[in-house]
Amino acid sequence: GLREAAMQAIKNTQWIPSWGQARIEGMVNGRPDWCISRQRTWGVPITLFVHKQSGELHPETDRLLEEVAKRVEKSGIDAWFSLDPSELLCDAAADYDKVPDTLDVWFDSGVTHAAVLDKHPDLHAPADLYLEGSDQHRGWFQSSLLTSVAIRNAAPYKAVLTHGFTVDAKGQKMSKSKGNVVDPDLLVEKFGTDTVRIFSMFAAPPERDLEWSDQGVEGALRFLNRIWTFIYKNHGVLSIRATGQLKDVSHLSASASQLLRKTHQTIKKVTNSIERDYHFNTAIAALMELVNETLAFSPSDEDEMDLLRYTVRQVILLLSPFAPHFSEELWREIGERHTLCNETWPSWNEDIAKDEEIELVVQINGKVRARTTIAAGLDDETVRESAFGDAKIQELIKGKTPRKVIVVQGRLVNIVI
């Protein structure tokens, strides 16, 4: 039945955060039958004719629906409400009642997937993502699911993201009735559109509530200003157009190699944060780290100058989804003449992105007791030996027998005494 098919479609969907799956499963599994008709004077009409004696639909209902649709497209929804049945049914009009009911508004919104995706050849079903607040597990997410499963036996979406709400300093949801809203027009006028965008995406992951902070907006402005000032002051050397590809990087200095590695790590982090996790806050945080290293880098020759141009170019490309207007301005400043929108998204080289060394945290009974630097990519046994080889750890466990050693690859070793 429809319920069982819907439950399977829920399992085939990615839910962000994961608790959204259990929430909607519980609602669909326990919901009663859905009566989609409403006795209201406003809404989307149920354009049917029912026989007065038998209660059956008119035998030519499909044709009649098409005729009504043509009239509605031409004259609006009142074309149905003002319609004289004899215009379509002729002499049989006296035998039929024109249904006065309207559709439940959740059915109306729940078929938007058909109205949008099926009507445009450049789009495809299912949608990549639906996003709304947690109240929509009972509403739009669910009504869309049920109508789509009934039509095509599949969910209308590949993924569903439940976002949080903007709250004030007291944790209360912002609303006009409470008088605690922030006027976005005033913010844009004072800080600029992209500054507000950067703060809104950086302050919290999308599934968490965002606590509004004027200081946070000012921090976002400082971040963008640092980038602008650096590019403006170095306009002359940065505007020599880089191809986006580096030549021989084998002879780069240690600091240049680190910047190149950080650039590729950031491309990977930002890409995955956007496409896989929708965690724009971690993407922006990674960009901030790359900007810090870029601004601190001092090229010693022309090859390293090319690296700086390359890195600045990647910073602008990675920043563009979050601060599109600002990024277009920067794009012009470095000598580009075509729009940033037509540029290819950066890609990373996995070999370049690999750390040569990592910081290994060593714990005893869950408490950090030492930190040591080791080569990246070592097997668990070698990592364990490195932890036990630390002088401080040797002193702390002297005369004791470890009951268990937990190795988290690339991160830590926990010695349980």
pLDDT in tens, 89-114: 999 999 999 999 999 999 999 999 99
Claim to verify: residue 335 and residue 383 sit in the same structural domain = no
Q: Is the pLDDT of residue 244 over 60?
A: no
Claim to verify: residue 230 and residue 293 sit in the same structural domain = yes
Confirm if 264 and 352 have CB atoms less than 8 A apart: yes
- CA diameter of the chain: 103
Q: Name the pLDDT band for 172 (thresholds 50, 70, 90).
A: confident
**Residue ending a domain, choose from 82, 103, 124:** 103
pLDDT of 240 reads 66
pLDDT of 374 reads 84
Claim to verify: residue 335 and residue 381 sit in the same structural domain = no
**Residue ending a domain, choose from 103, 119, 145:** 103
Give the Cα separation of 72 and 314 in Å (integer).
51
pTM (two decimals): 0.74
Backbone angles phi, psi at 137, to 5 degrees: -65, -35
Q: How many CB atoms lie within 10 A of CB 319?
A: 25
Residue 403: CATH number of its domain: 3.10.20.590
Q: Is the pLDDT of residue 144 over 80?
A: yes
Average pLDDT, the chain: 91
Claim to verify: residue 192 and residue 326 sit in the same structural domain = no
Which of the two residues, 386 and 86, has the higher pLDDT score? 86
Q: How many CB atoms lie within 10 A of CB 131?
A: 16
Q: Name the pLDDT band for 237 (thresholds 50, 70, 90).
A: confident
Our CA angle for 309, 315, 318, nearest 5°, is 140
Residues facing 45 on adjacent strands: 102
pLDDT in tens, 388-412: 988 899 989 988 989 999 999 878 9
Give the Cα separation of 75 and 52 in Å (integer).
28
Claim to verify: residue 46 and residue 20 sit in the same structural domain = no
Claim to verify: residue 259 and residue 291 sit in the same structural domain = yes
Claim to verify: residue 20 and residue 157 sit in the same structural domain = yes
pLDDT of 243 reads 52
pLDDT of 337 reads 84
Claim to verify: residue 191 and residue 74 sit in the same structural domain = no
Give the Cα separation of 169 and 182 in Å (integer).
12
Claim to verify: residue 325 and residue 190 sit in the same structural domain = no
**Of 54-58, 177-181, 337-341, which range is least confident?**
177-181
Q: E-assigned strands of 90-136? A: 96-98, 102-103, 127-132
Give the closest residue to 48 by CA, choosing from 117, 8, 100, 124.
100
pLDDT of 245 reads 61
Q: How many domains does the chain have?
A: 5
pLDDT in tens, 284-335: 999 999 999 999 999 888 888 989 999 999 999 999 999 999 999 999 999 8
Give the closest residue to 371 by CA, choosing from 395, 401, 392, 402.
392
Claim to verify: residue 171 and residue 155 sit in the same structural domain = no
Claim to verify: residue 14 and residue 129 sit in the same structural domain = yes
What average pLDDT score do residues 179-206 get?
89
Claim to verify: residue 147 and residue 6 sit in the same structural domain = yes
Question: Residue 8 belongs to what domain range?
Answer: 2-36+105-163
Q: Give the SS3 label for residue 252.
A: coil
Residue 274: CATH number of its domain: 1.10.730.10
Q: Name the pLDDT band for 242 (thresholds 50, 70, 90).
A: low
